[in-house]
Amino acid sequence: MSTDPFALFDQWFAEARASEINDPEAMALATADGSGRPTVRMVLLKGQGPEGFVFYTNEQSAKGEDLADNPRAALLFHWKSLRRQVRTEGAVDRVPDADADAYFASRARDSQLGAWASDQSRPLENRETFEQRFEEMKRRFEGKNVPRPPHWRGYRVVPDRIEFWLDRPHRLHERRLFTRNANGWEEGLLYP
């Protein structure tokens, strides 16, 4: 058995990139607001390593507001082609602004403009309003680099639990649970 859940994740993620037809980096992100009301949505993994799992979003979105109230989250990766999933839970930190700037600069220009045009998670009167705002941003930044909006940032889920689930015949699945303690990671098994 491995004692490094990130090495195991990297191995599984590489296999998912080779076998998943669409978006092997897609992950379900579960958050809860200050009153404990949970929500879940799909986001894309944009970085991973011993520090945690990184994604980017508008901090004024529903998920951003949840994380401001309750900076803990759970992630779920489901790789159907491999019949595997990885669940993780932990505290959430913001990534450094320099990292968010670098990732934002790597995005397609239309995605950058969309980040400026969208009041993510807010009510939208009609699609035309959003499209007009997008066109306004195109004019505003014409001939210029598009800077990262001040409300757009990265978050890192710093796990204290990571579970690797592997499908087995007859629902005799394999579940390996890594739990962080003062000395690093402890591994155990769970009944399916």
Mean pLDDT of 89-96: 98
In this structure, the strands spanning 52-58 and 47-49 are: antiparallel
Sequence-distant (≥ 6) Cβ neighbours of residue 163 within 8 angstroms: 86, 87, 88, 175, 176, 177, 178, 190
Phi, psi of 14 (to 5 degrees): -60, -40
Mean pLDDT of 110-138: 94
Interatomic CA distance for residues 165 and 173, integer angstroms: 7
pLDDT tens sequence across 168-189: 989 999 999 999 999 999 999 9
| Full set of structural domains in the chain with CATH | 5-107+150-190 (2.30.110.10)
pTM here is 0.93
Q: Give alpha helix (H) positions in the chain.
A: 5-19, 62-69, 97-106, 109-117, 127-140
pLDDT band at 120 (very low <50, low <70, confident <90, very high): confident
CB 158 within 8 A of CB 92: yes
171 catalytic, yes or no?
A: yes
pLDDT band at 161 (very low <50, low <70, confident <90, very high): very high
Is residue 88 over pLDDT 90? yes
Q: What integer pLDDT is reported at residue 122 of this predicted model?
A: 86
pLDDT band at 116 (very low <50, low <70, confident <90, very high): very high
CA 99 vs CA 27, 43, 106, 110, 122: distances in Å: 20, 18, 11, 20, 26
In this structure, the strands spanning 152-166 and 52-58 are: antiparallel
Is residue 1 over pLDDT 60? no
**Residue 51 corresponds to which tokens in the numbers above?**
């520090």
Q: Give alpha helix (H) positions in 41-180.
A: 62-69, 97-106, 109-117, 127-140
pLDDT tens sequence across 19-78: 998 999 999 999 999 999 999 999 999 999 999 999 999 999 999 999 999 999 999 999
Per the prediction, the chain carries an average pLDDT of 95
Q: What integer pLDDT is reported at residue 121 of this predicted model?
A: 86
Is residue 99 over pLDDT 70? yes
Which residue in the list 171, 175, 176, 180 is annotated as catalytic? 171
